[in-house]
Protein backbone atom coordinates (compact mmCIF):
# COMPACT_ATOMS: atom_id res chain seq x y z
CA UNK A 1 0.00 0.00 0.00
CA UNK A 2 2.79 2.40 0.91
CA UNK A 3 4.51 1.50 -2.32
CA UNK A 4 1.37 2.36 -4.33
CA UNK A 5 1.00 5.71 -2.55
CA UNK A 6 4.63 6.61 -3.27
CA UNK A 7 4.08 5.79 -6.95
CA UNK A 8 0.98 8.02 -7.04
CA UNK A 9 2.85 10.92 -5.42
CA UNK A 10 5.81 10.40 -7.76
CA UNK A 11 3.63 10.37 -10.87
CA UNK A 12 1.73 13.53 -9.84
CA UNK A 13 4.97 15.37 -8.95
CA UNK A 14 6.74 14.26 -12.14
CA UNK A 15 3.79 15.27 -14.31
CA UNK A 16 3.52 18.66 -12.58
CA UNK A 17 7.27 19.12 -12.98
CA UNK A 18 7.27 18.43 -16.72
CA UNK A 19 4.07 20.37 -17.43
CA UNK A 20 5.31 23.46 -15.58
CA UNK A 21 8.71 23.22 -17.31
CA UNK A 22 6.98 23.18 -20.69
CA UNK A 23 4.83 26.11 -19.53
CA UNK A 24 7.96 28.10 -18.57
CA UNK A 25 9.41 27.56 -22.02
CA UNK A 26 6.25 28.27 -23.99
CA UNK A 27 4.53 31.25 -22.28
CA UNK A 28 5.15 34.47 -24.15
CA UNK A 29 4.72 36.61 -21.02
CA UNK A 30 7.77 36.23 -18.71
CA UNK A 31 5.57 36.86 -15.66
CA UNK A 32 3.57 33.68 -16.31
CA UNK A 33 6.81 31.82 -17.03
CA UNK A 34 8.23 32.83 -13.65
CA UNK A 35 5.00 31.78 -11.90
CA UNK A 36 5.09 28.35 -13.53
CA UNK A 37 8.75 27.98 -12.56
CA UNK A 38 7.58 28.26 -8.94
CA UNK A 39 5.33 25.24 -9.58
CA UNK A 40 8.27 23.41 -11.14
CA UNK A 41 10.45 24.10 -8.09
CA UNK A 42 7.72 23.01 -5.67
CA UNK A 43 7.15 19.69 -7.46
CA UNK A 44 10.92 19.12 -7.55
CA UNK A 45 10.94 19.65 -3.78
CA UNK A 46 8.36 16.85 -3.50
CA UNK A 47 10.67 14.57 -5.53
CA UNK A 48 13.58 15.52 -3.25
CA UNK A 49 11.46 14.49 -0.26
CA UNK A 50 10.78 11.11 -1.89
CA UNK A 51 14.58 10.70 -2.22
CA UNK A 52 14.88 11.47 1.54
CA UNK A 53 16.58 14.83 0.99
CA UNK A 54 14.57 16.77 3.58
CA UNK A 55 17.04 19.59 4.07
CA UNK A 56 17.57 20.14 0.35
CA UNK A 57 13.79 20.15 -0.23
CA UNK A 58 13.31 22.80 2.45
CA UNK A 59 16.21 24.81 1.05
CA UNK A 60 14.75 24.51 -2.45
CA UNK A 61 11.42 25.95 -1.35
CA UNK A 62 12.99 28.71 0.76
CA UNK A 63 15.89 29.78 -1.45
CA UNK A 64 14.46 29.14 -4.90
CA UNK A 65 10.71 29.33 -4.48
CA UNK A 66 11.08 32.23 -2.05
CA UNK A 67 14.12 34.43 -2.58
CA UNK A 68 15.18 33.85 -6.18
CA UNK A 69 11.67 33.88 -7.61
CA UNK A 70 10.74 37.07 -5.72
CA UNK A 71 13.81 38.67 -7.29
CA UNK A 72 12.70 37.47 -10.74
CA UNK A 73 9.17 38.78 -10.26
CA UNK A 74 10.49 42.15 -9.05
CA UNK A 75 12.67 42.54 -12.12
CA UNK A 76 9.85 41.51 -14.47
CA UNK A 77 7.52 44.00 -12.78
CA UNK A 78 10.23 46.70 -12.93
CA UNK A 79 10.82 46.23 -16.64
CA UNK A 80 7.09 46.43 -17.27
CA UNK A 81 5.02 44.83 -19.97
CA UNK A 82 7.21 44.06 -22.97
CA UNK A 83 5.44 41.07 -24.41
CA UNK A 84 5.47 42.26 -27.98
CA UNK A 85 7.93 39.55 -28.99
CA UNK A 86 6.63 36.39 -30.57
CA UNK A 87 6.88 33.47 -28.16
CA UNK A 88 9.31 31.50 -30.29
CA UNK A 89 12.55 32.34 -31.95
CA UNK A 90 12.27 34.48 -35.05
CA UNK A 91 15.46 33.04 -36.55
CA UNK A 92 15.63 30.84 -39.60
CA UNK A 93 13.74 27.58 -39.41
CA UNK A 94 16.94 25.48 -39.46
CA UNK A 95 17.71 26.94 -36.03
CA UNK A 96 14.45 25.60 -34.63
CA UNK A 97 14.97 22.21 -36.28
CA UNK A 98 18.53 22.05 -34.95
CA UNK A 99 17.44 22.98 -31.43
CA UNK A 100 14.72 20.32 -31.38
CA UNK A 101 17.16 17.73 -32.75
CA UNK A 102 19.75 18.65 -30.09
CA UNK A 103 17.18 18.39 -27.30
CA UNK A 104 15.99 15.03 -28.63
CA UNK A 105 19.59 13.82 -28.88
CA UNK A 106 20.27 14.60 -25.20
CA UNK A 107 17.11 12.75 -24.25
CA UNK A 108 17.84 9.73 -26.45
CA UNK A 109 21.42 9.43 -25.20
CA UNK A 110 20.37 9.39 -21.55
CA UNK A 111 17.54 6.90 -22.17
CA UNK A 112 19.80 4.54 -24.17
CA UNK A 113 22.56 4.65 -21.56
CA UNK A 114 20.14 4.02 -18.71
CA UNK A 115 18.31 1.27 -20.59
CA UNK A 116 21.39 -0.57 -21.85
CA UNK A 117 23.97 -0.32 -19.13
CA UNK A 118 22.72 0.98 -15.86
CA UNK A 119 19.20 -0.37 -15.36
CA UNK A 120 20.17 -3.24 -13.04
CA UNK A 121 22.63 -1.10 -11.14
CA UNK A 122 20.14 1.71 -10.65
CA UNK A 123 17.36 -0.47 -9.27
CA UNK A 124 19.15 -1.52 -6.08
CA UNK A 125 19.66 1.54 -3.87
CA UNK A 126 21.47 1.27 -0.58
CA UNK A 127 19.52 1.09 2.62
CA UNK A 128 19.69 4.41 4.46
CA UNK A 129 19.00 5.33 8.05
CA UNK A 130 16.29 7.77 9.10
CA UNK A 131 18.80 10.56 9.67
CA UNK A 132 19.89 10.52 6.01
CA UNK A 133 19.50 14.00 4.53
CA UNK A 134 18.46 15.58 7.82
CA UNK A 135 19.78 19.08 8.66
CA UNK A 136 22.04 17.56 11.30
CA UNK A 137 23.70 15.15 8.86
CA UNK A 138 24.10 17.83 6.18
CA UNK A 139 25.53 20.33 8.65
CA UNK A 140 27.97 17.76 10.00
CA UNK A 141 29.18 16.96 6.48
CA UNK A 142 29.47 20.66 5.61
CA UNK A 143 31.62 21.41 8.64
CA UNK A 144 33.82 18.31 8.48
CA UNK A 145 34.34 16.69 5.07
CA UNK A 146 33.25 19.55 2.81
CA UNK A 147 34.49 22.64 4.66
CA UNK A 148 36.26 24.01 1.56
CA UNK A 149 33.04 23.73 -0.49
CA UNK A 150 31.22 25.60 2.28
CA UNK A 151 33.77 28.45 2.31
CA UNK A 152 33.99 28.64 -1.49
CA UNK A 153 30.18 28.87 -1.63
CA UNK A 154 30.22 31.84 0.72
CA UNK A 155 32.88 33.57 -1.41
CA UNK A 156 30.84 32.91 -4.58
CA UNK A 157 27.77 34.50 -2.97
CA UNK A 158 29.84 37.51 -1.80
CA UNK A 159 31.29 38.04 -5.28
CA UNK A 160 27.80 37.80 -6.81
CA UNK A 161 26.46 40.37 -4.33
CA UNK A 162 29.33 42.76 -5.16
CA UNK A 163 28.74 42.17 -8.88
CA UNK A 164 25.03 42.97 -8.52
CA UNK A 165 25.84 46.24 -6.72
CA UNK A 166 28.45 47.22 -9.33
CA UNK A 167 26.09 46.49 -12.23
CA UNK A 168 23.30 48.46 -10.55
CA UNK A 169 25.46 51.53 -9.78
CA UNK A 170 26.93 51.53 -13.29
CA UNK A 171 23.47 51.49 -14.84
CA UNK A 172 22.35 54.32 -12.55
CA UNK A 173 25.34 56.49 -13.54
CA UNK A 174 24.58 56.00 -17.23
CA UNK A 175 20.95 56.89 -16.63
CA UNK A 176 22.05 60.09 -14.81
CA UNK A 177 24.39 61.00 -17.70
CA UNK A 178 21.57 60.57 -20.19
CA UNK A 179 19.30 62.82 -18.15
CA UNK A 180 21.71 65.79 -17.81
Partner 1 sequence: MHGPDISWYVVLAALLFATGALGVMLRRNPLIILLSVEIMLNSANLLLIAFARLHGQADGQIFAISVMAVAASEVVVGLGLIVAMGRRHVELDVDKLRTLRG
Q: How far apart are CB 128 and partner 1 at their closest, in Å? A: 5
Backbone angles phi, psi at 110, to 5 degrees: -65, -45
Instruction: Look at residues 88, 95, 90, 92 and name the one whose alpha carbon lies nearest to residue 27.
Output: 88
Count CB-CB contacts under 10 A for residue 36. 19
Minimum CB distance to partner 1 smaller for 127 or for 180: 127
CB of 149 vs partner 1, minimal distance in Å = 5
* Least distance CB 124 / partner 1 (angstroms): 8
Chain length of the chain = 180
User: Of 133, 33, 134, which is closest to residue 75 (Cα–Cα)?
Assistant: 33
Q: Give the orientation angle of helix 69-79 with respect to helix 30-50, to 10 degrees.
A: 180
Residue 180 CB, nearest approach to partner 1 (Å): 15
CA dist 1 → 4, 26, 27, 84, 128 (Å)? 5, 38, 39, 51, 21
Tell the smallest beta-carbon distance from residue 82 to partner 1 (Å): 6
Amino acid sequence: MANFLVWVVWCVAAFACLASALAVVSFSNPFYSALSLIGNLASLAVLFLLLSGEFVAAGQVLVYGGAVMVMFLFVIAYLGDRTDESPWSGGPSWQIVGAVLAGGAILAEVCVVVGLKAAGFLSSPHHVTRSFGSPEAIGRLFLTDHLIAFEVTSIVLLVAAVGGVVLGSHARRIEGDART
